[in-house]
Structure 1
Amino acid sequence: MRKNTSGPRFKALLEAANITTTGFAKFWGTEAQNVHNWYTRGVPAYRLEEVARLLSVNSDWLKTGEGTKESPRLQNASNGDTFDAQAIRGVYTVIDPNDIDLVFFKETPLSNGSGKTHVIQDPDQSIRLLRAQLDQLEVRHSDAICAQMIGNSMAERIEDGSIVAIDRGLTQVVDGEIYAIEHDGMLRIKYLHRMPGNGLRMRSHNSAEYPDEVFRPAQIEEQRIHILGWVFWWSTLSKRRPVVPFL
């Protein structure tokens, strides 16, 4: 495994974009000391993709210094206190003062021909939500993403094809809440429940067709079950248009 030496490159990117440690920490929603620690310890592995996307660089280059590096596009806004959201579209975009444009993730086949899938960002799609809706639920804007419900396992609550919004900042399981999960590259939307011994129960709303699934810790690791975040919003269209009588 290649060593994470991202600290100096991360620091240099901020300096090149004229972003202070305090400014980045405020945008990220953390303490300045945490960001300062990344300069020496490196950006945490679970944050590398997000930070690289935010700073418009290749995550492999950020981690190791190898491969292609793109020019950073993150800049300070004119007030010196927040960032120009249009310059960081990879995280979220402010369309107007009341709206947030969230990035869209999708399940797509791997390019190696294995028939397996993985969950990646779709740069051609985004979903607009009201800023007030996120703020009301204390969802940090940069943690919010969208995806599409696939299948009828959550019908009648979340129909096939519905768009869901996911808070990546809440991955701790609260029994009975709905979460987005990446399960060996497959995107799944389920109720989650904790089980004794750090196990996990997945439950479908359409329980008649989709019985509960229980996973032991070893199975969670073997099957690469990763909680993407809490599902806090979804759109569901009616299955049919009503027929107006007497016409």
Structure 2
Amino acid sequence: MNDVRGRLIQRMSELNLKQTDIIRALGLSKGTVSKWVSGINVPSASVLPDLAKLLNTTPDWLINGVENNIQSADFKKIEPWDENTPLDEDEVEIPFFKDFSFACGIGSINEQISKEKRKLRMSKATLRNLSISKDNAVAATASGDSMSPTIQDGDTIHIDLGRKEIKDGRIFVICIGGLHYAKRLYNMPFGGVRIVSDNAIEYPEIILTAEERVEQDFQIFGWIWQIARIEKW
């Protein structure tokens, strides 16, 4: 049971999800999810598939720690596709940017989104479960190591442009003085903000007062709700 708890907490941390996110997405009670996180109970068979989907993993991994059970009926044969392949009923296309630097002072976000030709396919159910509008969903390639090991150079980050309200500890795409970053944000008294890198040794935290936020043109562009990584051999 503790192993299930550990894997659940691991995926929640990797995706920056809190208990309230799971409660809202799956329509569960606070007590149910709290017992999972505390290790008192494990997810029931009826809710396990939806929970695994929300956490971008499989039921086998959550319960048994099995990475990829190719014998599982949950897996389907993957067919090759290109830009001409029709979308499935549960798919939408979202803009995919080489990076997010366009957002800092070079035209409006909507203008740049309309011009972007590269796309990623995304499940409607995933966006729906997280209450993310398709129009607010974009993806970009991360660069640098300031958020390592959470976000590594070359990872794909998925951003919800509709969520700009600071929730302490969440990772956001921000812009300061015309430069863009992915950082954890924390509210400070009197409108200030604390900006934290996971690689804190090389990138010390920054604190801006309300006045400094204005002076340095501090902007929040959206919440990073998913981080995707492809391992290289």
Query: TM-score scaled by structure 2?
Result: 0.55
In structure 1, distance between residues paired with 2:89 and 2:100: 31
Q: List per-residue Cα deviations over 1:172-226 (Å, max 9, x = no partner).
A: 0000011111223322111100001100111111112111111111211121111
Aligned residues: 142
Point out which structure has higher relative CO (alpha carbons under 8 A, 6+ apart): 2
In structure 1, distance between residues paired with 2:105 and 2:163: 24
The answer as to whether partners of 1:165 and 1:231 remain within 8 angstroms in 2 is yes
In structure 2, distance between residues paired with 1:182 and 1:217: 15
Shift in alpha-carbon separation, 1:107–1:145, aligned structure 2, 3 A = closer
1:167 to 160, 167, 171: 160
Shift in alpha-carbon separation, 1:162–1:212, aligned structure 2, 3 A = same
Identity %: 27
Matches within 5 A, 1:93-132: 95-105=87-97, 106-108=99-101, 118=106, 120-121=112-113, 123-132=116-125
The answer as to whether partners of 2:101 and 2:180 remain within 8 angstroms in 1 is no
Shift in alpha-carbon separation, 1:170–1:129, aligned structure 2, 3 A = same
Query: TM-score scaled by structure 1?
Result: 0.52
> Which structure features the higher share of strand residues?
1
| Amino acid of the structure 2 residue aligned with 1:217 | A
Shift of 1:145: 1.3
RMSD: 2.4
Q: In structure 2, list runs of 5 or more residues that go unmatched.
A: 1-85
| Amino acid of the structure 1 residue aligned with 2:220 | I
Matches within 5 A, 1:136-175: 136-175=129-168
Shift in alpha-carbon separation, 1:107–1:137, aligned structure 2, 3 A = closer
| Amino acid of the structure 2 residue aligned with 1:137 | L
> Which structure features the higher share of helix residues?
2
| Amino acid of the structure 2 residue aligned with 1:182 | C
